[in-house]
Amino acid sequence: MNKSLNILQTPIDYLKGVGPNRAGLLRKELDIHTYQDLINLFPNRYIDKTRYYKIKELQRNGADVQIIGKIIHLKTVEQKRGKRLVATFADDTGTMELVWFRGHKWIKESIKINQPYVVFGKTNWYNGVYNMPHPEMELLEAHKQSIRTAMQPVYPSTEKLNNKGITNRVVNKVMQQLFIETRGKFQETLSNPLLTELNLISKSEALFNIHFPKSQELLTKAQFRLKFEELFYIQLQLISKNLVRKQKIKGLVFDKVGEHFSEFFNHHLPFELTNAQKRVIKEIRNDLGSGAQMNRLLQGDVGSGKTMVALMSMLLALDNGCQTCLIAPTEILAQQHYNGLLELIKGLGININLLTGSSKASERKTIHETLESGELDILIGTHAVLEDKVKFKNLGLAIIDEQHRFGVAQRAKMWHKNNTPPHVLVMTATPIPRTLAMSLYGDLDVSVIDELPPGRKPVKTVHRYDSNRLKVFRFLKDEIEKGRQVYIVYPLIQESEKLDYKDLMDGYESIAREFPQPEYQISIVHGQMKAADKDHEMERFVSGETQIMVATTVIEVGVNVPNASVMIIESAERFGLSQLHQLRGRVGRGAEQSFCILMTGHKLSNDSKTRLETMVSSNDGFEIAEVDLKLRGPGDIMGTQQSGVLNLKIADIVKDNDILKTARYYAMRILKNDPNLTQEENAILRYTYTQLAKHKNIWNYIS
């Protein structure tokens, strides 16, 4: 059984045609160390000159194809930027479009209408029609006299490899050699029931046809089989982790609802809970009473009331004789949580304290002592809480805010603060697209608060160009007259701090001219100020002493001023979607109608336009996150701490969302019936799974 797997662990240096120099380059440039890594270097695309396709035979797999037909119609289409030339190309089975974005004049003059052509290029499926941008074209007559080659894979490469002579042809040859040495026989990695039910081709056939496709149809089958397998084993790992944790890792049982919870719920709730909040609290209560350790991700848009859910979970822990803590990524946010909770639990006789990097030594000493003696009930803090010297008497619940800013290792540190691991609740206001949540947090149970508290009106968002600035200023004066406050935010991009600082100061000056003292008061906050000055300016704005807050993005996380009703974002095209959405969440916290105005110049890239249009049309964080995922790809969204998380070889979690869902469904079904994969029919899955765990380099696994 192991034979083909053993040969695949052979170092790449030993493959005929590679040798030490090429091996060194392949290791460094493409992370290829073994035969296994090479076999998993999948082509980016294919050049198919083996046959001529009919238009009706085209498949949606983005491959390059060639087709014989005639151009029957030619037109120029106006678009937002410039024009495109579109030709209707027909054969005896249907029509498609050929599209050019540049070189119109020359192409228009050279095209012969109704003459047979051979066109070659990458096909796209768009608005129900296939199209081919900038095709290679040759009249059929001339084409018959030229020499042609078969379907060729195009592999990922780097400039350095090409310069050192490791071209696509060389990689192709080396791959052929690998198939000769392994005789093209690879051990099956999926069970018979899966192969049969999903009508999948064998592993050997899939690997052969991904590298040397015999036809478009076999290529499509090979791609599906390998993508499914990759996503299936990731889901198998995440789901089994979750099940194992529920069975093996005993959690503290919080089975009593005591006086803290009841007293707060009956007499101190500042507003009626939304149905979504009630549902989530119920999910958390079930977890806390189940006897297994809770590991739950709580997602909710800015202002949806996650803090209230967190507090009520904390009160349950206190009622069951345990301490709790809440960790936030920044001091500002920790301070805000602390102030907010202090206000809510007034009169309940609960001992709460705050620990951050700037806590004084004397304060720390008191905190350490009261934590260990059990007198301190709730600790709010930053990363400082994770330090080894911070010890609890019995920590029952740890809440982590804005999870994506904490690496997995930091989450694990909380576990060792107690003999029995505490329950963990992870909160985020950065909506994670469902696709990504399934892959990244598949080992966490997910709760979503998907409605805003009653009386909150959605923020109205508009896009305005710099040329409309005077109208925008007039609108601000009207709002300030009604007693409202305004944020004006400038982008901050680390590399060009001097430039950004200049933009901010120029902006500040023009605003100060337009809104003169003493009638108007303006606060300013930026990264080059001392912390004490920042706090002072923030304080003036929070207390209503100033009407306008001019700032760089330091206000992104957690500032809460219900009276602020307008958010102006300058150079909005320089912000990412999730940042824009977070900033917009700073207004709309009171009962008044709030506004978000996105200011830009006229020159905008297509991606910027998409971002601005999305913001104007949607207030739904999840919808916005899906668009963001499509624009930026999964790696960027999670930030650097999670960057190694989804190092996929062939699947793409955005484009292959349907395959991901299928893989998750089958992984769940199999583990439900056979949690340890001990049944005969699952032996192959268990074997592959343990091999994957052993050779981490086969698929870079998830955190």
In this prediction, residue 641 has a pLDDT band, given cuts at 50, 70 and 90, of: very low
| Cis peptide upstream of residue 431 (ω within 30 degrees of 0) | no
pLDDT of residue 406: 53
Asked if the model's pLDDT at residue 642 lies above 50, the reply is no
Give just the sign of the alpha carbon dihedral 667, 670, 674, 680. Answer: negative
Q: Which two tokens stand for residue 399?
A: 């809440």
pLDDT of residue 4: 53
Top-ranked range on mean pLDDT: pick from 349-353, 456-460, 648-652 = 349-353
* Burial classification of residue 257, based on how many CB atoms lie within 10 Å of its CB (0-12 exposed, 13-18 middle, 19 or more buried): middle
Contact 453, 562 (CB under 8 A): no
Pairwise CA distance, residues 702 & 648, whole Å: 10
Buried b (16+ CB within 10 A) or exposed e, 529-554: eeeeebeebbeebbeeebbbbbbbbb
Write down the mean pLDDT value for the chain: 85
CA 218 to chain CA centroid, nearest Å: 32
| DSSP one-letter string for 537-553 | HHHHHHTTS-SEEEESG
Pairwise CA distance, residues 302 & 313, whole Å: 19
pLDDT of residue 147: 53
pLDDT of residue 557: 47
pLDDT of residue 160: 85
Q: What integer is the mean pLDDT of 68-89?
A: 90
For the stretch 253-266, pLDDT in tens is 998 888 999 999 99
pLDDT of residue 665: 93
Asked if the model's pLDDT at residue 5 lies above 60, the reply is no
Q: Which two tokens stand for residue 490?
A: 């400038």
Neighbours of 24 (CB within 10 A): 14
For the stretch 259-308, pLDDT in tens is 999 999 999 988 889 999 999 999 999 999 988 888 898 988 777 888 89
pLDDT of residue 241: 80
For the stretch 11-32, pLDDT in tens is 999 999 898 999 999 999 998 9
Pairwise CA distance, residues 583 & 492, whole Å: 13
For the stretch 585-621, pLDDT in tens is 888 877 789 999 999 999 888 889 999 999 999 888 8
pLDDT of residue 700: 36
From 59-68, 459-468, 487-496, the region with the lowest mean pLDDT: 487-496
In this prediction, residue 412 has a pLDDT band, given cuts at 50, 70 and 90, of: low
Asked if the model's pLDDT at residue 400 lies above 60, the reply is yes
Pairwise CA distance, residues 252 & 422, whole Å: 7
Asked if the model's pLDDT at residue 537 lies above 80, the reply is yes
Could you give the domains of the chain? 1-44+159-187 (1.10.150), 49-153 (2.40.50.140), 259-288+305-428 (3.40.50.300), 460-618 (3.40.50.300)
Q: Flag whether the pTM goes above 0.95.
A: no
| DSSP one-letter string for 559-591 | ---TTEEEEEETTGGGS-HHHHHHHHTTS--SS
Listed in sequence order, the residues at least 6 apart from 468 whose beta carbon sits closer than 8 Å to its beta carbon are: none
Residue 8's closest CA among 698, 701, 696, 700? Answer: 698
